[in-house]
Amino acid sequence: MLQEMEAALMTEDPRLVSALSGDAKPMAKNRILVGLGLVVLGIIVLFGGLIAKMTPVGLLGFIIALGGVITAISAIRRPSLPKAKRPSSLGARLERRWDERNNS
């Protein structure tokens, strides 16, 4: 019965199944490039504010650069567990979690 429910879930909402399966997505290279671009743009705006002696512009440049760093760092994810250590299906993982909750 659990396998039938899992198959029905896969057909109804494959995005949810992929999110619950725990598969780590590879590094989002586009987000890293956008983050690095924002850092460069932020530094340019920061120096422009320093040269023009306009503190709000320099502060805006700092905020842009900080946002770029945060964007680039958030694109890097920790590697997932090796597949040998994970149960083979979503149903098996859910059963293991259920057993862990009930046996505690």
Q: How far apart, in Å, are the Cα atoms of 36 and each of 11, 25, 40?
A: 38, 20, 6
Model pLDDT for residues 67-86, shown as the tens digit of each residue: 999 998 988 765 555 555 55
Reply yes or no on whether the pLDDT at 92 is more than 80: yes
Q: How far apart, in Å, are the Cα atoms of 68 and each of 28, 29, 30, 34?
A: 14, 13, 12, 7
Neighbours of 36 (CB within 10 A): 14
Model pLDDT for residues 13-66, shown as the tens digit of each residue: 777 766 666 555 556 788 889 999 999 999 999 999 999 999 999 999 999 999
Reply yes or no on whether the pLDDT at 11 is more than 70: yes
